[in-house]
A and B are shown apart, each in its own frame.
Chain A
């Protein structure tokens, strides 16, 4: 009996030791790094730099595609409530629409990631020279793109995110100025300290051209802000023979392909969604971007999308080189420059059949209409609508060129600006009032 007496207690003692020793309370998450691991290490900042571009080029462009429905390039065709609301536009677009929230929220996330890089990168001693300048300029570019995108869709925006909440808002003109300031600064940073080959290897890869992209977006936002001379100056610095692309894989699929071909939420309107008179038959860009089979939804003719969007891994241009010619033509016209200078640029786009790195060719005869400022501006709008199809600019263009507006006409856009998403209004008292339409 003695042995029996000892054994159970010995066993119990062991059990208590197991009990006390088996429980680790400060467990480490093996699935993904924490904020502390990312923001305080060199590898973390480099990974976040790739991440911000990956996020913008997938989730970001996915959200921006909603503006193509508002700008009538695409038609919302699925029966999900949010898609029906977006397609209806006008006052039928509620403040709780998830597409608006996605656009707003994802651009804010791009801003947060960029701001985190800008704030933390200089504190990491092992990050220096051309790698630091590259990481800095790259983050400033993406913050500028987020601001520019928000300014396309909303009347007012914050120019800084805040974890504590309660951010304040400024009119879109000031938002554009902030985007331009960031781009100017980024250009200065990489001019003073050219990016290292390490930066190119670890962050941009072979397809993304940081320097040309900075100049191209600076030209775009200066044009939007009305700084015509500066728009021309930046557009001139872009090397039109170079490509800058967002690349995709099955893990990071082409977002336009995903929405149009897989989710089938949106379909491509025939003739780029342009009303009769703005679309020219024989334009080879029509066959570049659109193909058969044709279909019809609620009486609207639809085409099958092609261009940069017909496969899961098709790269999407960050900007198209001909946008620079059209920016210059428009800036010349709006700045009351020589009409013939603008005409030369317009015809360069109209008649192009070779030399475009992305093979986007109109192959149209030269312009034969009236050579007046207004007529040529309308021609620029036409060319932009075809050349820059689904580049996220149609809605902004429609406003800038003073095209027919809702509620009178929803032919070219069904909203002037989006209302602010409920989620921001419910949680931030500083949000401005919604636009009427």
Chain B
């Protein structure tokens, strides 16, 4: 999730998530390499327990969350019990998912005998449809039950849930079971305590797929295979054949990855909170929250001995776990008072202390014995452990004046200290001011005819600063020597990362202006916001001259801006006794630009070095080789008639000479995104909803086609034209080295969701209600994209590397059928 563009390079671009006042872990640790995919820990939160979500964008988040607020804040509130007799809610849902679109694959019944361009001899072959054997139709179920109610003094809400969801790749699945309790007790008419507890157990069976770092994935194996080899195991020996076309390059047989590899993850998580709210005086609210989130994620991976992987023929076993412990203590005091008939004041004060501890262990064993799966079966065992400890304290004051109920002015200041910051920059100060003016509350407006047309008109503006803490590791301020050992001799080596004792958080200054309008007595609403976010002290892992003895250092040297606007339009075109039609349209544009990068270009890991931050361009721009062209723009072909990459110069014959050159060849950030939601309530019982999402003007780097269309592999349709003789032999190998060729425009409009609901009151529920629903997700997409899905990214949750398609499992097409009963 991205709010108003990305405002960091090395840190997380995700907003801060807070569930019932608890700062929750939303990391995506890659404990085993699944090819870029990692579980985001928000998956542990059961959506059925959520009452409402509030998103705080922009400067408003600054004062309250300071050093953690620059990506915005998402507050999630879960359901609470209400006074009354117990109310039981039961829901059950079944879902069917499948692959929406298959890649077009090579069906040409011949192959070349070799890769020599002058030898056009071919041999007949049988081609196989690998994707049919990798993907399947998957079934899932979800059941939830909750009980809530209470007396005037005590309210409760308790729920239990179980989710069982299969993946569209054979043998993959995800299960989540959880229980939640919320208990509230009134102590006096001015004092109330609330207690929440949530336990979740998530387990999954994973099939490794992509291949940024490891090449053992099923889909990596598929794309590096030439589909004239039957991937099925030998019926007698059960041995899977290597699907790699040459003997030198071994690639994983995808069916072997699916059927023999065993990769699993398991997470235990407890989230708890204790809250105390006091209202000892009229207008005074004192609120204390103790929030606690502890999760242990355990990942195991096993590849049995003798397999088709490039690197683990002798077997592979890995066990990695991460325990994350987060604690927050928040005290907030606010005092609201009306001084005179026209002046109202709200004064706020808050203090927070937060701790985050991470404990990670990872052990990899290779050269396994023939049967055992655990790491102790390995002859070679490599282990690693890391611990980190991060502490943050902060305090804020905030003052709001309301003048004549129409002008509101707020000023706030926050001061933070963190153990991650360098000693000389330990304290950080963040100011904020904002104001709004409800013009339509003025008498002249109320009394004029304009009020009948424009019934609400508000102007607002704000300015604020916020920080991004996630960019700084707990110990980045030190030069940390790395332990190494020779047999019997422990040692240390100096690292490639030089410490920076002056490290400080990135600082974002955001200015926004906006207006809220409503027309025809709230039948139509319009919200418009313009914002400009300037990030200074942007942390970059700056490269150093190697002759310093080091390679990189985190330095606050970069800059970044996000400029954009957001538009929200809602309307109720029809509202009568039989039909209500609600429509909501959102549209947002954002333009990101990075600066201050020495040398102008900073490549990122996770994009095979083809993704970079480039001065003057948006973050994550594709930066790589491009076609050599004639002055008229046509391709400059080699003497052999093949396209080629541009190089540093030209030789006497006019052919490119010297090193290949790179430039910005694509941008994965859309020009604009939007969505259109229509809801219809027909009669009292029937409801219908559609949601279309659109994203326009962005590029995808299609590594999948680049590999699958090449002669060595050649399993995709794009290679057929070379086999047919429509292009010279060797074209695919030539295009492989020109990355510009693999950039595709990726604009799309997608039917995100369509749903139909029917309410009824069957007799057996007495006074209860029942709702039947059927819905579809991602049923179709209007796009010109040649890959599985335009919304795909092989680098997972990476901040910088987006729009990079390298054989990832796409978002499936899903049909859901559900029943929900309340009684």
Contacts and interface: CB of A to CB of B under 8 A. Distances in A.
Nearest to B542: A427
Contact of A24 (B388, B391, B475, B598): B391
Contact of A25 (B278, B391, B479): B391
B331 A15 contact: yes
Contact of B329 (A18, A49, A423): A18
Contact of B547 (A91, A108, A262, A297): A108
Given A12-B286, A250-B380, A20 B480 contact: no
Interface string B483-517: 11111111111101011000000000000000000
Contacts of B479: 34-35
Given A23-B393, A116-B494, A264 B249 contact: yes
B381 interface: yes
Interface in A17-39: 18-20, 22-27, 29-35, 37-38
B74 interface: no
A48 B485 CA distance: 10
B742 to A, nearest CB: 14
A18 B379 CA distance: 48
A47 B333 CA distance: 54
B657 interface: yes
A57 B712 CA distance: 35
A276 interface: no
B152 interface: no
Nearest to A50: B491
A98 B482 CA distance: 22
A109 B485 contact: no
A94 to B, nearest CB: 3
A77 interface: yes
Interface in B355-409: 355, 379-382, 385-393
Interface in A245-304: 247-252, 262-264, 267, 295, 297-298, 302
A15 B491 CA distance: 45
Interface string B286-321: 101010000000000000000000110000000000
Contacts of A295: 247-248
B547 A161 contact: yes
Contact of B382 (A1, A104, A250, A422): A250
A267 B494 contact: no
Interface stretch (B141-149, B522-530, B548-556): B548-556
Given A247-B486, A264-B248, A427 B598 contact: yes
Given A27-B391, A48-B481, A251-B382, A262 B311 contact: yes
Contact of B486 (A19, A24, A108, A205): A205
B822 interface: no
A24 B356 CA distance: 12
A202 interface: yes
Given A35-B494, A52-B493, A205-B489, A22 B548 contact: no
Interface residues of A, number: 91
A26 B419 CA distance: 6
Contacts of A423: 543-546, 551
Given A18-B329, A22-B353, A101 B481 contact: no
Contacts of B389: 24, 27
B482 A424 contact: no
Nearest to A84: B737
Given A33-B492, A47-B492, A79-B249, A165 B548 contact: yes
A78 B608 CA distance: 14
A167 B546 CA distance: 10
B120 interface: no
B311 A48 contact: no
Contacts of B486: 50, 53-54, 57, 205, 247, 249, 252
B276 A8 contact: yes
B497 to A, nearest CB: 11
B450 interface: no
A105 B379 CA distance: 32
Interface in B153-187: 187
Given A250-B381, A426-B599, A91 B659 contact: yes
A18 B353 CA distance: 9
Given A15-B329, A48-B492, A205-B489, A94 B481 contact: no
Nearest to A167: B547
A262 B312 CA distance: 8
Contacts of B484: 50-51, 54-55, 251-252
Interface residues of B, number: 81
Interface string B646-672: 000000000001111000000000000
A30 B474 CA distance: 11
Residue in B329, B387, B492 with the greatest tally of chain A CB atoms within 10 Å:
B492
B25 interface: no
B290 A15 contact: yes
A24 B419 CA distance: 7
B12 to A, nearest CB: 20
A38 B481 contact: yes
Given A15-B331, A116-B494, A158-B547, A35 B481 contact: yes
A94 B659 CA distance: 5
Given A32-B482, A205-B486, A109 B545 contact: no
A64 interface: no
B281 interface: no
A49 B485 CA distance: 11
Nearest to A11: B276
B426 interface: yes
Interface string A96-122: 101001001100110111011000000
B676 interface: no
A161 B548 contact: yes
B609 interface: yes
A275 B252 CA distance: 36
A30 B387 contact: yes
B191 interface: yes
A123 interface: no
Nearest to B658: A91
B609 A421 contact: no
Contacts of A98: 609
B351 A19 contact: yes
Nearest to A38: B481
Given A25-B419, A50-B486, A79-B249, A1 B493 contact: no
Given A22-B353, A312-B380, A12 B249 contact: no
Contacts of B329: 15, 18-19, 22
A108 B331 contact: no
B546 A108 contact: yes
A317 interface: no
A112 B549 contact: yes
A52 B658 CA distance: 36
A52 B549 CA distance: 13
A203 interface: yes
Given A1-B188, A31-B386, A424-B545, A205 B488 contact: yes
A287 B555 CA distance: 53
Given A35-B494, A91-B658, A427 B544 contact: yes
B271 to A, nearest CB: 19
A134 to B, nearest CB: 13
A424 to B, nearest CB: 5
Among all A-B residue pairs, the 7 with the closest Cβ atoms? A112-B549, A50-B491, A94-B659, A51-B491, A427-B545, A250-B380, A105-B546
11 contacts: A22-B353, A26-B423, A27-B419, A27-B475, A38-B494, A54-B486, A162-B549, A163-B550, A205-B486, A205-B487, A427-B545
Given A38-B481, A95-B659, A249-B486, 12 more contacts: A20-B353, A23-B419, A29-B480, A31-B480, A47-B491, A108-B549, A109-B550, A162-B549, A163-B550, A251-B485, A263-B311, A424-B547
Interface of B: 115, 187-188, 191, 247-250, 276, 278, 286, 288, 290, 310-311, 327, 329, 331, 351-353, 355, 379-382, 385-393, 417-419, 423, 426, 474-475, 478-494, 496, 498-499, 543-551, 598-599, 608-609, 657-660, 712, 737
